[in-house]
Chain A
Amino acid sequence: MQTARDAGLVGCTRCGKVWPAQTRECGRCGAALKRVDTAGLQAVWAWWFAGLIFYIPANLYPMLRTSTLAGNQQNTIIGGVIELITHHSYFVAAVVFVASVVIPVSKFIAIAYLALAVGNEHRAGAHRHLHLFEVVEFIGRWSMVDVFVVAILSALVQLGAVVSIHPGPAAAAFALSVALTMLSAQSFDPRLIWRGPARTTGP
């Protein structure tokens, strides 16, 4: 299997069109042409660390402040999940837990793993690495669900003294963390996966 790089060409990652190696910009779709180069991993790591930093306050600060006649209550992400469990809403508790904890944490691990493994993929591993990357790219945006839940609750639950809900600072930190990890995943060039020993496989 010959790659564009082997042939002294560069392929556009946006529209697939092929150009001579020194071309800077795709003549058809106008996207910047990127050479298959590990230098791009710096951007992946920069976004990755920025996302990780914001994930810390997202878990420490409250996501929601609920004030009822009985008093005030503040909930972090984990606190909200625990409260749903005590109300026996196991399914929704699972949805929130997966969207706000499992997906972000596994995303950090998966991106770091992919970035560290560049060039070391085993012969059978390249397909699995690409699959992992596609899952990360597809699923990352679904973490934003918790931010929308906070927005809907704070807009809707405004019943004066009876009960009212206000957003907490963690909502912004969490939204930033999700956006930054999305950028990290987008900066990863999946063509790097195939530069290792796997480049000789295929028909």
Chain B
Amino acid sequence: MQKPPIDQLIACPKCDALHHARHLGENERAACARCGTLLITPRARSFLHVIALSFTAMILMIAAVFFPFLKISAQGFSHASSVFEVAMAFSDGLLAPLSLAVLMLIVGLPIVRFGALIYTLWPLANARPAWPHARRVFRLAEELEPWAMAEIFIIGTGVALVKIGGLASVSLGPAFWAFCALIIVNALKNAFLSQWTIWDAIGQK
């Protein structure tokens, strides 16, 4: 077997099988021949889509943090809270570090990811060489992915609403809907994200 040059090879991150990588057409995708992990999923114009969706998500997140999130009332008393106040629920006493962690998981890390994606893809979408440290920034965005938990937070809100249901009446604020929209935009953005294409574009100096 004739050996292809090393820069045309791709190793499956899940099972280490070696493949010969090539640029695919718009509707093609490449999966590992052994374990089936998707290796290359190119999508035309995906850079611009990801940038647009990341901007949208960032604006929605800012709205979601500062507008009222939920409001409850019972027996003449009422109380409203924003997402920021939810994160600060643990802020007194020994649980204070948990407050910071929750704030990072639901607000901080998603925003860092959106910013990192915009930073990486902006020059690439304009057919310019990647900005300095783009590879470190994009790797950060990739590594943070499991820790950005905005969508889990919304499921938690649903559970909390049912738990409160018996105690008091709840009204949903604009931040709640902003957060729901954010989840959808984020899911769309992930669908347009093609890691291999981005790494390939960053690698071309």
A167 CB contacts on chain B under 8 angstroms? 89-90, 95, 98
Question: Quick check: which of A42-50, A52-60, A89-97, A112-120 contacts chain B, the rest being far away?
Answer: A89-97
In the assembled complex, A17 has its CB within 8 A of some CB on chain B = yes
Assembly CA distance A192 to B166 (angstroms)? 50
- The residues of A that contact B17 with a CB separation of less than 8 Å are 1-4, 194, 202
Q: How many residues of B contact A (CB 8 A)?
A: 68
CB <8 Å contact, A156 and B33:
no
Residues of chain A within 8 A (CB-CB) of B18 are 2-4, 6-7, 9, 11, 18
Q: How far is the CB of A93 from chain B (nearest CB, A)?
A: 9
B127 at the interface (CB under 8 A from A): no
A160 at the interface (CB under 8 A from B): yes
Given A4-B18, A144-B152: A151 and B89 within 8 A (CB)? yes
B15 close to A130 (CB less than 8 A): yes
Whether, in the assembled complex, A5 has its beta carbon less than 8 Å from a beta carbon of chain B, the answer is yes
Contacts of B153 in A (CB 8 A): 148
Q: How far is the CA of A191 from the CA of B34 in the complex (A)?
A: 12
A142–B150 Cα distance when bound, in Å, is: 11
- Whether A17 contacts B152 by the Cβ 8 Å rule is no
Query: How far is the CB of A43 from the nearest CB of chain B, in Å?
Result: 16
Interface residues of A in 20-46 (CB under 8 A from B): 20, 28-31, 36
Closest residue to B10 on the A side, CB-wise? A16
Closest beta carbon of chain B to A15's beta carbon, Å? 4
Contact B94 A169 (CB under 8 A): yes
Q: Which residue of B lies closest to A66 (CB)?
A: B167
Per-position 1/0 for B131-175, Cβ under 8 A of A: 000011011001000110100110111011011111110100000
Is there contact, CB below 8 Å, between A148 and B13?
no
A182 and B168 contact, Cβ closer than 8 Å, known pairs A2-B17, A169-B94: no
* A contact residues around B7 at 8 Å (CB): 17-18
Residues of A within 8 A of B98 (CB): 147, 167, 171-172, 175
> Does B52 make an interface contact (CB < 8 A)?
no
* Contact A148 B156, beta carbon cutoff 8 Å: yes
B35 touches A16 (CB 8 A): no
Q: Are B168 and A194 in contact (CB under 8 A)?
A: no
A186 beta carbon closer than 8 Å to chain B: yes
User: Which stretch, B54-62, B78-86, B185-193, touches the partner chain A?
Assistant: B78-86
B164 to chain A, nearest CB (A): 6
A140 to B145, CA, bound (A): 13
* Neighbour of B90 across the interface among A3, A20, A159, A172, CB < 8 A: A172
Please report the C-alpha to C-alpha distance between residue A151 and residue B154 in the assembled complex, in whole angstroms. Answer: 12
A148-B153, A163-B74 known; A9-B163 Cβ under 8 A: no
Known: A7-B18, A144-B156, A152-B156. 4 other contacts (CB 8 A): A3-B11, A92-B162, A127-B35, A152-B86
Q: List 7 A-B contacts (CB under 8 A).
A: A12-B13, A14-B13, A126-B15, A167-B89, A171-B95, A175-B102, A191-B16
The 8 closest A-B pairs by CB, nearest first: A11-B11, A148-B156, A4-B11, A152-B160, A154-B89, A155-B89, A159-B77, A15-B199
